[in-house]
Structures are given as C-alpha cells and as structure tokens.
Amino acid sequence: MLILNNFTQINLKISTLNSVQLHNEAPHLGDDPSVDFWEAQMNFELGMQEKAFEAFDCLYRKFKKRPFKGHDSKYLDFYLSNLKK
C-alpha cells in the first residue's frame, strides 16, 4: 500500500508540473491573477521555493496583496519573509 501511495503522489506531482508547463506556454489572461497565483501555489506546494517566490513576486509587484486574499496566509507569509532576505 505504501508503494502505491508513493506512486500516486509522484504521479500527481508529474501531472501538476505538466499543467504548470502548459500554463507557461499559453497566452496569459491580462489582469486576471488567478492563473498565475495557481502556478505560484503549485510551485510552493511542490517544494520549488525559488520558482514560487518569483511567481509570487511578479503578482505582488503588479497587484499588491489582492491575489493573496481568500487563500491560506502561508503564501503571503512565505513571500514577505523571503522578500526580506
């Protein structure tokens, strides 16, 4: 069961990375930060801290705290704590 669980988690991560890659190749939707926030969120959750910070940074510079509203505060906390470094 543990092997199946690990396989499922690896498969999910690969699928998520493929979705992020497809998003990066697609045209953006202008001033709708939701898709870009999703990308930053996925990078964060997958442990890709540098990419997550870069994506959150682009969002924050353009929209300030607006994209972070309604989401877990850990994303804004992560961004602000890494901004100071």
Could you tell me if residue 24 is inside a domain? no
In contact, 76 and 68? CB cutoff 8 Å: yes
Could you tell me if residue 85 is inside a domain? yes
64 pLDDT above the threshold of 80: yes
pLDDT score of 40: 94
The residue segments making up the domain with residue 37 are 33-85
The string of pLDDT tens digits covering residues 43-52 is: 999 999 999 9
Q: How many CB atoms lie within 10 A of CB 37?
A: 20
Token output for 38: 């999703």
Could you tell me if residue 4 is inside a domain? no
77 pLDDT above the threshold of 90: yes
Record the pTM.
0.67
Mean pLDDT of 3-24: 58
33 — pLDDT class (breaks 50, 70, 90): confident
Q: How many domains does the chain have?
A: 1
Could you tell me if residue 46 is inside a domain? yes
In contact, 60 and 80? CB cutoff 8 Å: no
Distances, alpha carbon 40 to alpha carbons 5, 34, 53, 64, 80, in Å: 25, 10, 7, 15, 14
